[in-house]
Structure 1
Amino acid sequence: MDSDVSEFDYDLFVIGGGSGGVRAARIAAGEHGARVGLAEEYRMGGTCVIRGCVPKKLMVFASGYAQQVADAAEYGWDVQPGGFDWSVFRPRLRAELDRLEAAYRRNLERAGVTIHDTRATLADAHTVRLADGGEVTAKHILIATGGTPFVPETVKGWEHVLTSNDIFQMERLPKRLLIVGGGYIACEFACILNGMGVEVTQYYRGAQILRGFDEEARGHISELIRSRGIDLHVGADVAEIDKRPGGVWVKTTDGREETFDDVLYATGRAPLTAGLGLEELGVELGRRGEIVVDEWSQTSVPSIYAVGDVTDRINLTPVAIREGHAFADTVFGGRQVKADHDLVPGAVFTQPEYGYVGMTEEQAREAGPIEVYCANFAPMKNAFIGRTERVLFKLIVCADTRRVLGCHIVSEEAGELIQMAAIAIKMGATKEDFDRTVAVHPTVSEELVTMRQPVRTA
């Protein structure tokens, strides 16, 4: 560990108590003996634990039971489905978030981290100004403030909308909800709230939802969303919003008018850098306000580092954790460790889910000759009861090296399935390695090792 006890109050001061900042603080203090302070102005745990991945996944679980009950009846069970009761679920959700926040706090304290429950900003390259009074100095400062929902303030009436942060705090579920956006957050909440019995309409200004993901998977998910009863409109955008006695009135750019109980804007997230004092110190920011860092997560000011969504590299919790750990090991552990951003798997928790790793077909086509293997079918569980909902399995293979460049799965539990596929792909598995693997039968995932002929080449 590199520190000068006499010069600074801390060896490291972390601004932000989310997954990346907490991991960096814990490793620096608990494993490498650094004197660490951390400031969090809201709740410990950050976006993932308090207003993101964790509460969202619990809502995914809750929303899936309506379809399970319906399927159970078709399979012969005597079940009487009722309505979803938000007032039962909501306090349990709050209690679980309280428990997780307390666990984050305990783990920091056990590692010896000093916690400041207040907003922190930068006074200079080694000084942090605390909103509750006073200043502290640190040899190294780590910015891990994450991101925040983006709402376009150019839309008249934007102040009447909800964001993804608000969903978990709702006192009641709306009967009719408009979701504006076509990214993964918008699509996930459309499926979740539809599953809870909300009448969901979704507007997206682009030609197809889930921009940036594999085109074939995007189209497949779009059809599934509509088949679940979500009123999805692409090429549609909001021109004006107004709060009226009957609800929230919305006018679209093509002149349609509708009234909803609530409007949720899920139009992306922006790095949370405003007001930190970064620009005044000469910390380079990107076009979206993200902190520009090098491969070691170091900014243009040598004593200041940044990890997680605030850098807008790969905005996933496990990536932020890896970045925070690598930073702590490098700066305080005497080891040169870089976070690995290659072949990072992920999942979109629509219903059914979408799991992915590696290249999309479109990206792979630009890189060189490829073969595409694809299976699109109604799984046994659905076919038996006459449900037409289909799954999609897709492998993208380099025609020259035979390595699997990408895998895309749209299916129940796709998030679980893609984790296993990602291990093989990260190890450099070829299509022939997949082919040599014996199938587990009867399963949906056996398609990964039984697709023998490419459906197309490029």
Structure 2
Amino acid sequence: MAYEFERKQRIAVLGGGPGGYEAALAGAQQGADVTLVERVGVGGSAVITDVVPSKSLIATAEASNSIGDATDLGVQFFVRGASGKPARPDVAINLAAVNKRLLSLARQQSEDLKASLIHAGVRLVHGEGRLDGTSGIIVSTAPGDSGTDFDRIEADTLVVSVGASPRILDTAVPDGERILTWTQLYNLKAVPEHLIVVGSGVTGAEFASAYRALGADVTLISSRDQVLPGEDADAARVIEDVFKRNGMVVLSKSRASSIVRTTDGVLATLSDGRTVEGSHCLMAVGSVPNTAGIGLEEAGIQLTESGHIRVNRVSRTSMPNVYAAGDCTTELPLASVASMAGRTAMLHAMGDAVNPIEIRNVASNIFTQPEIATVGWTQKQIEEGIAQGDIYKLPLASNPRAKMMGIKDGFVKLFARTGSGTVIGGVIVAPKASELIFPLALAVEHRLTVDQVARAFPVYPSLSGSITDAARAMHIVR
């Protein structure tokens, strides 16, 4: 008697960043035959050259700041000088050691992710890949890579998660030594004497904040009225005030027309003719998707003018069996969104139950000092009438735990639907705002009212108590 066995669904994933990793893992967990192609390492740029190393650097900067700020709490650091009298020591930063540590952390994280995929049964291929229509991936394996004899990977479903790279301007070409992208900063052996940062978006603001805390003189060149132009205006104002108070030079409404290397540094020329001299320059002017030359157009996959892959709310492209996730798509360029998109794509492809991604419910964070965390509708959308809501803002300085910790900057801002009191968004500016935003993310996702949030018991004293206080202040009288 002959038996027919159902063939496993074949999944091929191009790119091992957060989106590709999560897609491959989800596919393997559901019994698919999964192959993942990655040219650098599992985790992609998010783990190896972006999120993990940058946030590790920021953690070092926070540690440096905490030592300097401890004086406000009555903690003083002194050494005995030559005369025997106390002298206040400088906080020294060994940037070479810092960079060695954070790159080691990135490699370890990549290896941990790789081990998880292998344990789940995912086949890993190290090499350059491109789509061969919608039924496979052609791979050029990396030299010296053993056990990867694939020329073409056949697949029923394809997932593209190739990420993005720093945007390069013809007028400021990085050389990896003085003019740098954010992926090249980790080659520095010492803290820059004077770092010029071009671009005041999330990446520029984060690195400007970190390097100022590490002791570098920093000049931030912003083409807009205010730093972080796409963020909550109150939050951006707090951050800019902190930047200036800490000695950073912020050049607003200024555009860098060229960056050139000099004998011992860099020279930035602004569009109005002014010049700024520094030791190094970080170009933080956005990113471009890594979608060119990998067979997308030939496969009939729709792209935007910027080269991003168009996807729907289940991460499907214009071709039914091809999905995409991460910074190469039209979704929010966040690692958390990439991971969710990759998993959503695989659940949908395998016929499992899936909830379409609701971008408005995504919590995001900017790792400046203090941090800015947001979720849901924005104040600007409420003021423009796009959403109907009430706004309540509570300064963090009134929080008892904040007073104990010496925190003077920041706030909790809550948005609630007019009439019903349903929480529709919020902003938190505080140390570790990335940890504090989660209760608001839960409230937005599950449509809790301010009264329901207010009924939860916060620890006293705690920074999270300000969330409950703001919710109580927005009580809906019945």
After TM superposition, the score normalised by the length of structure 2 is 0.87
Instruction: Select 1:224's aligned residue among 239, 242, 246.
Output: 242
Residue matched to 2:423 = 404
Instruction: Select 1:85's aligned residue among 86, 94, 98.
Output: 94
Q: How does 1:196-345 map to 2 (within 5 A)?
A: 196-332=214-350, 334-345=352-363
Cα deviation code 1:340-391 (max 9, x no counterpart): 4341111111001111111111112322443211122536577579x78422
2:331 and 2:337 in contact (8 A); partners too: no
Aligned-residue RMSD, C-alpha: 2.4
Segments of structure 2 that go 5 or more residues without pairing to the other structure are 78-88, 142-149
Segments of structure 1 that go 5 or more residues without pairing to the other structure are none
User: The residue matched to 1:338 in structure 2 has which SS?
Assistant: coil
The residue type equivalent to 2:460 in the other structure is: H
User: The residue matched to 1:148 in structure 2 has which SS?
Assistant: strand
- Give me the whole-angstrom Cα distance separating, in 1, the residues matched to 2:473 and 2:400: 22
Residue matched to 1:143 = 160
- Give me the whole-angstrom Cα distance separating, in 2, the residues matched to 1:17 and 1:4: 28
The residue type equivalent to 2:278 in the other structure is: F
User: The residue matched to 2:187 in structure 1 has which SS?
Assistant: coil
CA-CA distance at 1:52 after TM superposition = 1.9
1:224 and 1:389 in contact (8 A); partners too: no
* 1:312 to 1:169, Cα distance in 2 relative to 1, 3 A: farther
- Give me the whole-angstrom Cα distance separating, in 1, the residues matched to 2:468 and 2:402: 21
User: The residue matched to 2:268 in structure 1 has which SS?
Assistant: strand
Cα deviation code 1:48-68 (max 9, x no counterpart): 211222212211110012221
- Give me the whole-angstrom Cα distance separating, in 1, the residues matched to 2:317 and 2:6: 21
CA-CA distance at 1:280 after TM superposition = 2.1
Residues 1:48 and 2:46 are matched in the alignment: yes
User: The residue matched to 2:156 in structure 1 has which SS?
Assistant: strand
Residue matched to 2:169 = 152
Instruction: Select 2:409's aligned residue among 386, 390, 394.
Output: 390
Instruction: Select 2:128's aligned residue among 119, 136, 144.
Output: 119
Residue matched to 2:186 = 168
- Give me the whole-angstrom Cα distance separating, in 2, the residues matched to 1:92 and 1:398: 46
What is the aligned residue count? 446
* 1:296 to 1:422, Cα distance in 2 relative to 1, 3 A: closer
Cα deviation code 1:244-294 (max 9, x no counterpart): 112111111111112211111111122221111111222100122110122
- Give me the whole-angstrom Cα distance separating, in 2, the residues matched to 1:418 and 1:336: 25
- Give me the whole-angstrom Cα distance separating, in 1, the residues matched to 2:16 and 2:174: 29
Cα deviation code 1:217-243 (max 9, x no counterpart): 222221122222221111011112221
The residue type equivalent to 1:121 in the other structure is: R
- Give me the whole-angstrom Cα distance separating, in 1, the residues matched to 2:430 and 2:71: 21
The residue type equivalent to 2:23 in the other structure is: A
After TM superposition, the score normalised by the length of structure 1 is 0.91
After the TM superposition, which of the residue ranges 236-245 and 77-86 deviates more from structure 2? 77-86
User: The residue matched to 1:355 in structure 2 has which SS?
Assistant: strand
- Give me the whole-angstrom Cα distance separating, in 2, the residues matched to 1:290 and 1:281: 15
User: The residue matched to 2:297 in structure 1 has which SS?
Assistant: helix
Residue matched to 1:98 = 107
CA-CA distance at 1:174 after TM superposition = 1.5
User: The residue matched to 1:13 in structure 2 has which SS?
Assistant: strand
Residue matched to 1:430 = 449
The residue type equivalent to 1:396 in the other structure is: F
1:329 and 1:335 in contact (8 A); partners too: yes
The residue type equivalent to 2:448 in the other structure is: A
1:142 and 1:307 in contact (8 A); partners too: yes
- Give me the whole-angstrom Cα distance separating, in 2, the residues matched to 1:38 and 1:344: 27
- Give me the whole-angstrom Cα distance separating, in 2, the residues matched to 1:42 and 1:328: 23
CA-CA distance at 1:201 after TM superposition = 0.8
